[in-house]
Structure 1
């Protein structure tokens, strides 16, 4: 028994010494990990602080001119991220920090010509100026084409003629080529089933998503069209279920969206305008859209005459009830979503009018309110001339 006690004692002591050794190692490992974590946090924090304070140009030697669009309603954080994604600036966080530090609150929407050789201060100064309503054609390189938001097929055909080896006529022919359309419809049935047999001027009007396309490898005019239709399908893919819930066809959604695109500017106004159109359809009223009449007349003039609104055309939505034959232009996703999720329908607005000088859109429920407001706006604008 004594021998056993003597034998157990040293073992227990050695065991205690071993446990202590492991504890020391464990403490050392924990301390090391914490230390490394602190160093990493300091490094990350230092990098972040450096990025936030780096207001210098991305590339002083750059010769690039990048056309950059600031969307309506975009905040500084969104703009900064888009500038970084476009290759204009190094760090989105630096742009946001500069704007905050300088209390900049008047960044404008529109198109701007920017360059990586510009400092953030210069870029912010540029964005405080009025943005262009449309991109500049001259900024496109040969082999690239731009379909603008709210542009129609005939207008875009001129871009094709300028930027590619194909004529406007040859490209427009693809929009009504039945064999080609049937092939596309099989590939994109959710998108095109309601468009193929519609009595429209161009079957694919409205199905050419507004974007810039690289068509340097296009061997035929149809190669351009295919790329544009594929883009439209990609953009609409997440919303086909919503369209079915509305119990409207894609053709009807895009038709209303094309009107909304040209009748209002801000996302909110577009949502309310979409509600007005849907309310008028429910009440069996004509849509009374100038956009539709201008398409019928192939004109871009600002003011229409009474005679213009009486033109005999299925596209004249002053005379014809319903949606009309089909889209009048290529609407943006903002306008499409406005139709899918209209605003203030419960207010029963049936009329709207825009002040062409300020861009503000007013909504009314009755024709009497609408006429009175119209007279008031005309008087105000005449007095400010």
Structure 2
């Protein structure tokens, strides 16, 4: 009789415990559950995080709810207003924390890595190792030496249990969804294979963030290529620098690099960024103009010119006769 009373009392206390808030402060607490942890070890982690006040009651409740089994590894976010029963349900359903990640158009692989690293979704060193893994690239349908150019800009939802390979696979899969067979066919008609197509688009994207302007930028580069002129795109001159402080100097324009289109002829060997649809379409449908030059204005837009003389006047007008840029013109038309 006494034993029955004790059991009944325990069950009453357990029921009361299961429906009481962890803490009335209404605070979010994040915990990481490693792979392969038993529910007992999970309980210990929650206890250390201040989410489980009574380990015996919590573990007993888990037994009642048939939750004493392996829990999905990952990052969980619990609000202290939750009841222990609700916490266990969240663990049972594997409701790990999801991170919304916005990858803007025309970011380089290095810039994308910084975004993902900030969210603690990747290890940078591992990211670049995977990004240049030959077998992995082949499995993604990429015939290049890195994933640069194929990480499609979009809004993604990742969790910290995902590997770098999984994240890249999702982003590259989105690229192949957005780059249609029709676009690839059109590029082929312009004598651009998929890699050159993406490379071209990446330069346009780095030159202008204005989608309405991109067909004009594209036209300038198409026209220069037709005339066998160097592209002379500033972003290509600084792409493979270990560090860049934001201002393109004469020394950058003269440096020997396979990507520097002030030095090399034609397109660089690969993309310098990961273009969005607007940049990709701009390659395929350049504006019907004869411009060969452009210079940025104070508002970030560009002034376009068909001749070098007009281009010089535009520089004087829009950049206050910047001596640095006037010197650049000596580099722009190599003999």
TM-score by length of 2: 0.63
The alpha-carbon deviation at position 218 of structure 1 amounts to 5.1
Using CA pairs under 8 Å that are at least 6 residues apart, name the structure with larger relative contact order, 1 or 2.
Answer: 2
Q: Is the 8 A contact 1:143 1:164 kept in 2?
A: no
Q: Is the 8 A contact 1:153 1:329 kept in 2?
A: yes
Q: Is the 8 A contact 1:142 1:164 kept in 2?
A: no
Runs (5+) with no aligned partner, structure 2: 1-96, 324-335
Q: Is the 8 A contact 1:310 1:319 kept in 2?
A: yes
Q: Is the 8 A contact 1:243 1:250 kept in 2?
A: yes
CA distance in 2, matches of 1:265, 1:171: 26
Deviations 1:62-103 (A, max 9, x none): xxxxxxxxxxxxxxxxxxxxxxxxxxxxxxxxxxxxxxxxxx
Q: What is residue 175 of structure 1 aligned with on the other side?
A: 131
Q: What is residue 370 of structure 1 aligned with on the other side?
A: 311
Q: Is the 8 A contact 2:233 2:262 kept in 1?
A: yes
What are the residue-to-residue correspondences of 1:129-144 with 2, within 5 Å? 143-144=99-100
Q: Does 1:269 align with 2:225?
A: no
Q: Is the 8 A contact 1:352 1:370 kept in 2?
A: yes
Q: Is the 8 A contact 2:121 2:159 kept in 1?
A: no
Q: What is residue 148 of structure 2 aligned with on the other side?
A: 205
Q: Is the 8 A contact 1:157 1:169 kept in 2?
A: no
The alpha-carbon deviation at position 364 of structure 1 amounts to 1.1
Q: Is the 8 A contact 1:268 1:343 kept in 2?
A: no
CA RMSD of aligned residues (A): 2.2
Aligned length: 226
SS of residue paired to 2:151: coil
What are the residue-to-residue correspondences of 1:1-385 with 2, within 5 Å? 143-185=99-141, 192=142, 195-196=143-144, 203-216=146-159, 219-237=162-180, 238-344=182-288, 347-355=289-297, 357-379=298-320
CA distance in 2, matches of 1:165, 1:310: 37
CA distance in 2, matches of 1:268, 1:349: 16
TM-score by length of 1: 0.55
CA distance in 1, matches of 2:228, 2:152: 30
CA distance in 2, matches of 1:230, 1:165: 18
Q: Is the 8 A contact 2:121 2:160 kept in 1?
A: no
The alpha-carbon deviation at position 300 of structure 1 amounts to 4.5
- Please state which structure has a larger fraction of its residues in helix: 1
SS of residue paired to 1:369: helix
The alpha-carbon deviation at position 222 of structure 1 amounts to 0.4
The alpha-carbon deviation at position 144 of structure 1 amounts to 3.6
The alpha-carbon deviation at position 143 of structure 1 amounts to 3.4
The alpha-carbon deviation at position 323 of structure 1 amounts to 0.6
CA distance in 1, matches of 2:247, 2:160: 41
Q: Pick the structure with greater CA Rg.
A: 1
